[in-house]
Amino acid sequence: MTSVKAYAAHQADKPLEPFQLTRREPGVDDVEIKILYCGVCHSDIHTARNEWGGTMYPVVPGHEIVGKVSRVGANVSKFKVGDTVGVGCFVDSCGHCSNCKDHQEQYCENGNSQTYNSFEQDKKTITYGGYSTHIVVTQGFVLNISDKLPLEKVAPLLCAGITTYSPLKYWGVKKGDKLAVVGLGGLGHMAVKLAASMGADVTMLSRSPEKAKDAGELGAHHFALTTEKETMKGLANTFDFIIDTVSAEHDYNQYLALLRTNGVMILLGVPPTPSEVQAVQLIFGRRSLVGSLVGGIKETQEMLDYCAEHGITSDVEMIKIDQINEAYERTLTGDVRYRFVIDMASI
């Protein structure tokens, strides 16, 4: 067992603080990773503050991990010491259910092992995430990272990148499709970049006029203010797809009305309370309201390779680990463009 430095939340209403945790020694199929960078996801905040319930304290968040292989087990064939690798939102799964066999470990029917605030597959060992100096992961859940791109900007691809890439691929977004993105944050800015790279005609929908310039620089072709009633009325029956990244309470119906016949609205954000959906918005237009959750390991590697090929990374602001509590507050007010990334050398 190895003791490593970390940052943890010990109570929902207390700031994160330094913490020592114990990692297992690498087994024959394990990869030990020295963490270089870890992105800060809104899910980290929800979990640290027990907003979704079920937080097991102390909790060490972080599931956008990039680092270097420091040790490997005897049976590890995919990686060697010194390789640049990544770890995303989960670190193991049952491996034998229908979803796991179909490379959809994110939907493991027996429960995958989330990178933090979860259990290993023994169902008793608690997982701790990337706000730490090292992590040990079975080789099947470690990802190859290209050195072509700035590693700190790659880290958020392990969650924000795959969360937006997966639905774009699954629903077959292609050149010429009209696609709108709701919410220009960590997820939204990646949705704009990726959809534009696939040839879609991208519109940014936002309540904030100051987001127009950024949206254009990220690749959006159009910008529309959702607070302007006439603008929204004029966009009715316009889009083939809408990607909704907003985690705050909002009205789904006003966006469903913007879909064309057979249009699809994809939910990626998780509001804290149930949302009311008017059946007529779906029935009159044969529209679909769907959700999507990250991607499996195979698809995540595909996404990383795609981003390396097309030069796509996240827009980030680097912080030191002792700035994490301030970063949480700034994230909640939208004061970040568009993802905080921790330089783990600062721990």
Q: Is residue 340's pLDDT more than 90?
A: yes
Q: Is residue 149's pLDDT more than 90?
A: yes
Which residues, other chains included, contact 179 with Cβ-Cβ below 8 Å and sequence gap of 6+? 173, 195, 200, 201, 202, 203, 239, 240, 241, 242, 243
pLDDT of 291 = 98
Q: How far apart are the first and last CA of the chain?
A: 20
pLDDT of 156 = 98
Q: Residue 76's pLDDT band (boundaries 50, 70, 90)?
A: very high
pLDDT in tens, 100-109: 999 999 999 9
pTM over 0.85: yes
241-273 burial, b at 16+ Cβ within 10 Å, e below that, comes to bbbbbbbeebebeebbbbbbeebbbbbbbeeee
Q: Is residue 16's pLDDT more than 90?
A: yes
pLDDT of 117 = 98
- Residue 183 DSSP class: -
Average pLDDT, the chain: 97
Give the number of other Cβ atoms within 10 Å of residue 142's Cβ: 27
pLDDT in tens, 209-241: 999 999 999 999 999 999 999 999 999 999 999
Which residues, other chains included, contact 320 with Cβ-Cβ below 8 Å and sequence gap of 6+? 342, 343, 346
**What are the structural domain ranges in the chain?**
2-158+295-301+313-346, 161-291
Q: Is residue 141's pLDDT more than 90?
A: yes
Dihedral pair phi/psi, residue 10, rounded to 5°: -105, -20
pLDDT of 271 = 86
Q: Residue 272's pLDDT band (boundaries 50, 70, 90)?
A: confident
Give the mean pLDDT of 135-146: 98
Question: Which residue in the block uniquely carries the two structure tokens 């940014």?
Answer: 204
Question: Which residue in the block uniquely carries the two structure tokens 């119906």?
Answer: 253
- Pick the closest to residue 274 from 244, 255, 298, 252 (CA basis): 252
Cα 337 from Cα 179, distance rounded (Å): 22
β 222-225/201-206 pair status = parallel
Please name the fold of domain 2-158+295-301+313-346: Quinone Oxidoreductase; Chain A, domain 1 (3.90.180)
Q: Do 161-291 and 2-158+295-301+313-346 fall under one CATH topology? A: no
Dihedral pair phi/psi, residue 90, rounded to 5°: -145, 155
Q: Residue 86's pLDDT band (boundaries 50, 70, 90)?
A: very high
CATH class for the region spanning 161-291: alpha beta
